[in-house]
Amino acid sequence: MNERARQALVIGAGPAGLMAAEALARGGCNVVIAEAKPSVARKFLMAGKSGLNLTKDEPAQRFLGAFTGSCAPLVRDAVADFGPQAVADWARGLGQPVFTGSSERVFPEAMKASPLLRAWLGRLDGVEIRTRWHWRGFEDDGYAFDTPGGPVVEHPDLCILALGGASWARLGSDGAWVPWLAARGVDIVPFAPANAGLKVDWSAHMAKQFGAPVKVARLTAGDTSVRGEFVISSRGLEGSAIYAVSRPVREGAPLTLDLCPDWTRDEVARRLARPRGKATVAAHLRKTLKLDPARLALLMEFGRPLPDDLAPLIKALPVRHDGLRPLDEAISSAGGITAGALDGYAVRAVPGLFACGEMLDWEAPTGGYLLTACFATGRAAALQALG
């Protein structure tokens, strides 16, 4: 007589949850996905609006080194098993060819997330997806939901939580699950913004620079130094280079800008020593250092009153800011379930329960790391649950 197939419940239909569901189904489980929103993978689709950055084609050591937090070793192990090449092959297997851009970032040729998601859902044909199912905690040793048909308590053989962190609440990641797990004794690091912009209270002269890109600069905060691009916005500074330093900035490290990263301080000083004649300081800076209006404006904003020796300031301009944008405006969140609360992906305090994705205490910069880790940990949690 055949054994009864195990009943598996996945709560959350983002990339980690969908990947977990796929692995569970392949392992012979009857799988139900419960999703609070009217449709699945909303944050995934939003991420794809400006080009879906699936992963990054770079040396493994550098890729794995991008992850921090107590669960970083767990994430690294998962990514080592299902990393950038596996993610690219997975997308191709869904009929979505990929390409690698000049920044080593990997995108589907269609650029958008929707074609890939449609193909993925088509392959999950045997998985039941229940939308508008809002998990509201534990009840009668089961998982309680508010559903369109009324309250329901599910008692699966195993459950994988893939509820995300606490950024972009309107898309589903609201951290509402934290008190329910905390009440069971699960140790959780409070969520904080990651990959977030900086708040800056600009002076009036900066208004003409709102929307201007800064394409030549190196940002340094604590042990992180990155050359990259960012944008001056009405609310502060945004963009990939800013996001890359958000962790040390959040932890209190001062942020500096190198406005001439291609030249040493001595070279900058040498160029500035050229006769200025009747030119203004601004005109002299534009001519000798090729500072565009955006970088020049930042120098005037953060450097005034300008010292006589400008070279040190230009190579390490202190950025005055009011901290990171709020958690709900961040691309991702830091914090979550600690490694000490887990055996692998199994939640120690709740038998039969596993967690994956951004619920765990790890973070990484943008650039393909976030999605790859969500795919990889969703898959790894399912494989552990299957035994």
Percentage of the chain beyond pLDDT 70 is 99
- Residue 1, pLDDT score: 44
- Residue 3, pLDDT score: 75
Q: What is the pLDDT of residues 134-149, one digit of tens each?
A: 999 999 899 999 999 9
- Residue 2, pLDDT score: 56
Return the DSSP state at 274.
Answer: S
pLDDT over 90 at 4, yes or no: no
Query: Average pLDDT for residues 231-238, to the nearest whole number?
Result: 98
What CATH number did the domain enclosing 177 receive? 3.50.50.60
Dig out the tokens for 366 from the structure.
Answer: 């943008």
Report how many domains make up the chain. 2
340 and 218 part of one domain: no
Evaluate whether residue 105 is within a structural domain: yes
Q: What is the mean pLDDT of the chain?
A: 96
Percentage of the chain beyond pLDDT 90 is 95
**Dihedrals φ, ψ of 60, to 5°?**
-55, -40
The amino acid sitting at 7 is Q
366 and 296 part of one domain: no
Supply the range of the domain harboring residue 127: 7-193+327-386
Specify the residue for token string 């691309």.
331
Q: What is the pLDDT of residues 99-135, one digit of tens each?
A: 999 889 999 999 999 999 999 999 998 899 999 999 9
Q: How many CA atoms lie within 13 A of 136 on its CB side?
A: 13
37 and 76 part of one domain: yes
183 and 128 part of one domain: yes
Evaluate whether residue 1 is within a structural domain: no
Cβ(356)–Cβ(294) below 8 Å: no
309 and 244 part of one domain: yes
pTM of the model: 0.93
Evaluate whether residue 2 is within a structural domain: no
Q: What is the pLDDT of residues 289-347, one digit of tens each?
A: 999 999 999 999 999 999 999 999 999 999 999 999 999 999 999 999 999 999 999 99
- Residue 243, pLDDT score: 96
Q: How many CB atoms lie within 10 A of CB 187?
A: 16
187 and 290 part of one domain: no
pLDDT over 90 at 386, yes or no: yes
